[in-house]
Each structure stands twice: as C-alpha cells, then as structure tokens.
Amino acid sequence: MPPTIAHDTEATIKEAQRYYEAIGKDNVMIKIPGTEAGLPAVEATIAAGINVNVTLLFSVESYVNCAWAYIHGLEARVAEGKDVSKLSSVASFFLSRIDNMIDAQLDEKIKVADLPEVQAKLVALKGKVAIANAKIAYQKYKEIVSGDRWKALAEKNANVQRLLWASTSTKNPAYSDVMYVDELVGQDTVNTLPPQTIDACADHCDVADRVESNLDEAYQTIESLKDPDINIDLDRVMADLLTEGIDKFVQPFQSLMDSLEEKVKSSSLFRSFWGTVRSSPFSPPPSNLQKPYGDSARKSAPHWPPARPHS
C-alpha cells in the first residue's frame, strides 16, 4: 500500500481491493502496515479473500493485534460460509532496526555511566533486544494457535499466519552477520534475507531450531530495560520505529511514482511518434505488433524494421 495512506483505514481497504482486481492473480499478497488504522484494513482485506503481508511490526503487542486481525478476517469469511483454505498471511516482524535504535541509546548511557558495574549492564544488552523480542513474539504465536478459536478455523483448513523475520541484515560489524538467521529458525516462520546475508548464511550459518531456545534469557533481557540503571522505554522505541519506518517508505514511494509518471509521459510521446510512423507509406508496422509476444506472434511477425524501399 502507498505509505501515504498508512493511517487511513478506508483508503487502505479500497486500494487493497483495487490492487487485487488490477493484478488479477489469486496468489497476490498485499502489504499493509501494522498501524492502528492498518489492522482493521487487514481484517477487512482477509475477509474479502485477499492475502495480506502485515508489515512494520516491531512490538510483541503489535504482532498479537495483527494475529487477531487475521483471525477476525477468517472468522468473518467462515460466518458467511466462504472458503478460508486458500488464504495466506505473514506477519513481518522487524529485527535489526530495533537493535540499532536501542544500541544507540545504550552507547549514550555508557558514555556517562560512572560505575563499572553499570557500564557492564549496559554493554551486556547491546545487540540482544531484537532477538529476545522476536522469541517472545513466537511464544505469543504458539499461544494463539493453541487456542480454541484458532482450532475452529484449522478445522476449516485455514492456514496459520506465519511470522516473517524482516530487517535481518546485521548493521553492526561487531556482531555475527547471521545472528538474525541462526537464532530464529523455527516451525511456521519465514526469514527474508538480503543478498549479502544469503551469501554469509550459505558460508557459515549453523541452522538449527533455536527460536525457542534460551527463553528465560529472552524474557530477562526485555525486563532488564526497566532497570533504573538502564531505563529504556521499549514502547517508545517501538512507536518511534513504526513512525520512522513509514517515513522511510514515503520518499522512495514518491520517487517511484515520479519515475513512473515520467515513463508514462515518455510513452505518450512515443505513441504520438508511432502514430506518425504508422501513417508513412514507406514503413508500415506489422499488423500484430501490439499483440502479446508469444511464440506464435514472433513466428508470424514480419521482419522488423522493414527493409528500406529501393529507389
């Protein structure tokens, strides 16, 4: 969806339907941000029978709300006697951006910490929060799919909404370049990797089911942010990341739209020129030039451009 409508529920619902109809493919997956306004749109879009990727999820709470939006959409379809077996959804849960923001705050606190033990606490948290947060989100996923409401949908052959780990390239060179891969392998999850992380993983990933490992440590990591010596407001971090995430999409989206508009204008000039060419008796275009270029079209098309007429 255009990031400019991330906070407009009705506009998102309408655009999702328009995209789905324009693309005309059952397996299209519409990306909708997990904003307060986006989640009702997720529910409505799922209820309409359209696959959804819920993106820009940072907090565990936002993931849980996203999961329930998916369930509510499926339940609405079931209530109308409609099929839910072909619908899919993922919940895109972001990782490295969390560590980047929290590490920056930790670094500032380390600079002014007087006591060595306080410094040690702060240093120990660096690069740990995102994975801990993701592991807790996965536990929430397990709670949801073990509940009666999901089981009722599973009996209708509904597909689980998989957690998708996003923003998985390691930004800090001091950390493992596959840390967001190795630690989060688990059932019903997806990991989207940029090319450099794919290469790194092919070289030295240690693949094993670890998404449920060291859970006590994960909960302790999140809890430790409330320590007076650390005092990082995780809710504020997550809210800031969501706002920043939407803002980061706005400029690239506008650049894309400007580029497409320019191409359309160029195409219009080309069509105008082409109309002039078509009117020339010396170089008539092949009659099937604007038909789909399948094999049969290529075989039947005359040589193009045509030979210049002999004087």
Q: Which residues are catalytic?
A: 31
What's the CA gap between 304 and 311, in Å, rounded?
20
Copy the structure tokens of residue 108. Answer: 């500032």
How far apart CA 254 and CA 258 sit, in angstroms, is 6
Measure Cα distances from 85 to 17, 20, 241, 274, 296 in Å.
19, 18, 34, 48, 37
297, HSE (Cβ side, Cα atoms, 13 Å): 9
How do beta strands 29-33 and 89-94 pair?
A: unpaired
CA distance 154 to 145: 9
Nearest CA among 21, 15, 14, 20 for reference residue 1: 15
CA 37/CA 32 separation, integer angstroms: 10
Write the CB contacts of 103 (distance below 8 Å, at least 6 apart in sequence): 126, 127, 172
- Helix ranges (H only) for 24-95 are 38-47, 60-79
- Centre a 10 Å sphere on the Cβ of residue 68 and count the other Cβ atoms it contains: 17
